């Protein structure tokens, strides 16, 4: 089983048939459903909930509840590690690391998982772990 981080965009795409990336992520998931161990964070689940219509939202939340993706835990003490990431990757103009991205970069650091399902190629191509390693975008 390959551990993979799951960002908001693919989480939405999995449950929104109208999303342009729906087919790609459904194919990844269905061709080898036991090949992936998907891990996300609560901020990604909340963002996806916001973008999905009610029926799709319920399906996504039920899927998470049933173990479709593991939600990596953190508490307020971990903000001390996430906030500097947000500052580091925010240039004050247009490039701003959001909280959901910060939680995924932090989770990657904690778990040593560098493979990620994301549509945010521009940002995750520039994010690095503390030791300089880059993400592998799937």
pLDDT tens per residue, range 5-50: 999 999 999 999 999 999 999 998 887 667 889 999 999 999 999 9
Per-residue confidence (pLDDT) for residue 33, from 0 to 100: 60
Residue 78 CA to residue 88 CA, distance in Å, equals 16
Give the tens place of pLDDT for each residue, 40-57: 999 999 999 999 999 999
> Which residue is associated with the tokens 């003490």?
77
Per-residue confidence (pLDDT) for residue 50, from 0 to 100: 97
Q: What is the pTM of this model?
A: 0.92
DSSP lists the bridge partners of residue 116 as: 5, 137
DSSP lists the bridge partners of residue 6 as: 117
Is pLDDT at 79 greater than 90 in this prediction?
A: yes
For the segment(s) 2-137, the CATH number from 3.30.70.1710, 3.40.950.10, 3.90.1150.10, 3.40.50.1010 is 3.40.50.1010
Q: In what order do the strands lie in the sheet with 36-40?
A: 70-71, 36-40, 2-6, 115-117, 136-137
Q: Is the dihedral of CA 126, 92, 108, 66 positive or negative?
A: negative
Question: Residue 74 contacts by C-beta under 8 Å, 6 or more apart in sequence?
Answer: 41, 82, 103, 106, 107
**Structural contact between residues 63 and 69, judged by C-beta atoms closer than 8 angstroms:** yes
Per-residue confidence (pLDDT) for residue 95, from 0 to 100: 73
Percent of the chain past pLDDT 70, that is, above it, reads: 96
The domain ranges of the chain are: 2-137
Closest by CA position to 122, among listed 5, 3, 22, 9: 9
Q: Is the dihedral of CA 36, 40, 73, 87 positive or negative?
A: positive
């Amino acid at each position: 089983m390959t551990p993979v981080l799951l960002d908001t965009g693919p989480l939405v795409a999995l449950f929104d048939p109208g999303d342009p990336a729906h087919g790609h992520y459904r194919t990844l998931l269905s061709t080898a459903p036991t090949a992936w161990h998907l891990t996300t964070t609560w901020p990604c689940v909340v963002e996806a909930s916001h973008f999905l219509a009610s029926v799709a939202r319920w399906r996504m939340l039920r899927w998470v509840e049933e173990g479709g993706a593991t939600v990596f835990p953190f508490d307020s003490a971990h903000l001390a590690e996430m906030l500097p990431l947000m500052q580091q990757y925010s240039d004050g103009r247009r490039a701003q690391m959001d909280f959901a991205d910060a939680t995924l970069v932090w989770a990657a650091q904690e778990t040593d998982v560098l493979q990620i399902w994301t549509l945010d190629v521009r940002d995750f191509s520039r994010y690095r772990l503390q030791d300089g390693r880059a993400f592998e975008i799937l």
